[in-house]
Amino acid sequence: MKHLYKPFSYLYIVAFLLFSPASIFASENNTSNVEAYPFKSVKVKNTFLKAIKYHNELEVIKHDLRQLNRDIKKHTKLGNIKILRDLEDQKSLQESKHQILSKKSQEIYNIITTITANNEPFNLLNFFSKKPLHEAEKAISKLNRLRVQYDKAMLILREDIKQLKIVIRKTKEVKKKTAYKYKLGEKLLSKRYLSGFKDLIDKQYDHLLDQRSTIEANYYEYRDSEIMKHVTSIIIILILFILTFIIRKLTIRYVQEDERQFIWRRSISTFAIVIGLTFIVFTYSENIIYSLTIFTFVGAAIVIATRTFLLNIIAWLHIIFSKFIKVGDRIIIPHETKYYHGDVINISPVQITLYETYDFSSTRQAVNAGRIIFIPNNYIFSHGVINYTHHGQKNYYDYLSFNLSFESDLGLTERITREVITEFTSSYVDEARVQFNTLKKRYAIKQRMLEPEVKFDVNAASTGIKMTAWFLTPNSQTTTLKNKLLEALLKRFNNEESIEISKKSKSEKEEVESSSEG
């Protein structure tokens, strides 16, 4: 606002030369230097009077700084060090005051010139709350209060000018009359400075009125177009929800199997959600490319949110079509350091239900038995599955092992072992041969051991001979058959003096026990 007082800058300089700044720009209540001043200025909490006050004080400080700079320059040439120090201190003080007053003056200026309405676009919440309209009315009301303050400030200045003119006419004393004239000059400059705000306030008021008109137009446009779109969307979504509910109920009524019910219900719900999201995206997006982009992100978010469920469904489809696991199969599934061993009693779209069984495998690996275990279908993608009964297989190979002394007759031991194993397992060989031929049609298996096998080796501690005997066993009779073989072999070995089971150390005894269980 500096341009408002430039024509009177010369008058200010003359006033500062004739009078001290303190006497000219003193408080309006301080009339000690002008005793004949017959009226009192009214104190008002007025934004514009504050603006005038800060402006005038800044001009005084600016004059003082210019004078101090001249004095510093003068005494620098004269070399007066002490006086220069005092002048520098005074200059620092005045600069600090100037900085504080400049900040206050800028704050007042911002209050006057930055009133505006928040012309944000209408949405459903703003429509019902009418927040943009209320904000516009609030801004206009605030500016009207400022306009009232402006009128009061201008009225006070005019009254002061009028009173000063009367006092000047009545005062005969030259010194007092000159003081009043310069006081009048100050008031006239303040009035001119204040007049500069008039144009800003009027333009701001016109702008706020235009903003309010625009906001009102947007309100009615939103009501006539967007609200109807919202109502239509809500109705369509409700219809979709009702149809989904009815179809799910019909599915429960006409589809008896639990698994198929689950699949149908899940598929119907997923399809309804996709249709609803697609409708919302294309309804509320004007640009088709933007709509497709949003739909892609929404779809990705849904996939991420339902990742585990989708993986279970995919794994379930893989199980159903590949048939590498089916209900009735006996399987082992590893989990961390443990194993789940049992018969598959149900395969749902989400999980495999396993009934823990007991045999030597469960003794070694799973420890427990008899529990119902639920395994997520997606587990098959990250863990190996051992199937004892895959593709109609009913038999697999198990083994027994013994530690024999070095003096034992290995030939006799092998013959007795083969005789005993053949006696108990011969009925399974023909069945296993048929099953193996069936398996060869599906997989590239070259050969399979069907007859009992007996192998000898020096045990780990080199204290005897370890015998390992492999034999066919039905997957459902592993424990029973193994117990019978163990009992029969021990009986035959004990009857032969040339066969001696090693009993040299506790560790060897434990090895025999663990191997016989294996």
pLDDT per position as a tens digit, 303-321:
676 677 778 888 888 888 8
User: Same domain, yes or no, for 65 and 159?
Assistant: yes
Distance CA 24, CA 15 (A): 8
pLDDT of the residue at 449: 67
Residue 63, both tokens: 């004059």
pLDDT at residue 7 tops 50: no
Mean pLDDT taken over the chain: 76
pLDDT of the residue at 135: 84
Hey, which of 22-36, 140-154, 223-237, 296-310 has the most confident mean pLDDT? 140-154
User: Same domain, yes or no, for 54 and 193?
Assistant: yes
pLDDT at residue 31 tops 60: no
pLDDT of the residue at 26: 35
CATH of the domain at 491: 3.30.70.100
Q: What is the enclosing helix (H) or strand (E) of 61?
A: helix 47-78
pLDDT tier for residue 294 given thresholds of 50, 70 and 90: low
Distance CA 356, CA 368 (A): 8
Distance CA 176, CA 186 (A): 15
Give the dihedral of Cα atoms 265, 267, 272, 277; nearest 10 deg: 140
pLDDT at residue 403 tops 60: yes
Residue 207, both tokens: 């702008």
More confident residue, 311 or 369: 311
pLDDT of the residue at 36: 36
Q: Of 439, 440, 426, 444, whose CA–CA distance to 387 is shortest? A: 439
pLDDT digits 0-9 by tens, 72-93: 888 888 888 888 888 888 999 9
Q: Of 62, 90, 61, 93, whose CA–CA distance to 75 is shortest? A: 90
What is the rounded average pLDDT of the residues 251-258? 75
Residue 313 lies in a domain: no
CB burial of residue 21 (10 Å; 0-12, 13-18, 19+):
middle
Q: Of 312, 304, 305, whose CA–CA distance to 350 is shortest? A: 312
pLDDT at residue 283 tops 80: no
Distance CA 61, CA 70 (A): 14
Residue 383, both tokens: 């863990």
Cβ atoms of 58 and 51 within 8 Å: the answer is: no
Distance CA 149, CA 156 (A): 10
More confident residue, 35 or 112: 112
Q: Count the domains in the chain.
A: 4
User: Same domain, yes or no, for 328 and 281?
Assistant: no
Which DSSP letter does residue 501 get? B
Which of 256-282 are b and which e, b meaning 16 or more Cβ less than 10 Å from the residue's Cβ? eeeeebebbbeebeeebeeebeeebbe
pLDDT digits 0-9 by tens, 126-167: 777 787 888 888 888 888 888 898 899 999 999 999 998 999
pLDDT of the residue at 19: 38
Residue 404 lies in a domain: yes
Cβ atoms of 190 and 184 within 8 Å: the answer is: no
Residue 311 lies in a domain: no
pLDDT of the residue at 305: 65
CA angle 298, 304, 306 (to 5 degrees): 100
Distance CA 191, CA 332 (A): 97
- If you search the block for the tokens 């045999």, which residue do you land on? 359
> What's the order of all strands across the beta sheet hosting 465-474?
395-404, 465-474, 453-458
pLDDT at residue 110 tops 70: yes
CATH of the domain at 378: 2.30.30.100
Asked which of 116-125, 149-158, 386-395, 478-487 is least confident by mean pLDDT, the reply is 116-125
Strand partners, 100: none
pLDDT of the residue at 46: 86
User: Same domain, yes or no, for 361 and 463?
Assistant: no
User: Same domain, yes or no, for 488 and 395?
Assistant: yes
pLDDT at residue 356 tops 50: yes
User: Same domain, yes or no, for 108 and 254?
Assistant: no
pLDDT digits 0-9 by tens, 412-432: 888 888 888 888 877 777 777
pLDDT of the residue at 8: 38
Q: Indicate the residue among 258, 275, 305 that finishes a domain.
A: 305
Segments forming the whole domain that contains residue 62: 2-222
pLDDT tier for residue 484 given thresholds of 50, 70 and 90: confident
Residue 376 lies in a domain: yes
Helical spans, DSSP H, in 329-466: 360-365, 410-440
pLDDT at residue 42 tops 70: no
pLDDT at residue 441 tops 70: no
Residue 69 lies in a domain: yes
User: Same domain, yes or no, for 376 and 403?
Assistant: no
pLDDT of the residue at 291: 56
Residue 67 lies in a domain: yes
User: Same domain, yes or no, for 381 and 418?
Assistant: no
Residue 65 lies in a domain: yes
What is the rounded average pLDDT of the residues 189-193? 89
Instruction: For 440-471, give the secondary structure using H, E and C.
Output: HCCCCCCCCCCCCEEEEEECCCCCCEEEEEEE
Q: Indicate the residue among 387, 412, 428 that finishes a domain.
A: 387
User: Same domain, yes or no, for 259 and 167?
Assistant: no
Share of the chain above pLDDT 90, in %: 5
Q: What is the enclosing helix (H) or strand (E) of 307?
A: helix 307-322
pLDDT of the residue at 163: 92
pLDDT of the residue at 159: 92
More confident residue, 12 or 452: 452
pLDDT of the residue at 182: 87
User: Same domain, yes or no, for 209 and 244?
Assistant: no
pLDDT of the residue at 119: 67
What is the rounded average pLDDT of the residues 491-495? 85
Q: What Rg value do the Cα atoms of the chain yield, rounded?
A: 51
User: Same domain, yes or no, for 90 and 198?
Assistant: yes
Cβ atoms of 468 and 411 within 8 Å: the answer is: no
Residue 400 lies in a domain: yes
Helical spans, DSSP H, in 255-385: 258-283, 288-305, 307-322, 360-365
Quick count: other Cβ atoms within 10 Å of Cβ 81? 9
pLDDT of the residue at 362: 47
User: Same domain, yes or no, for 505 and 410?
Assistant: yes
Q: Indicate the residue among 274, 305, 336 that finishes a domain.
A: 305
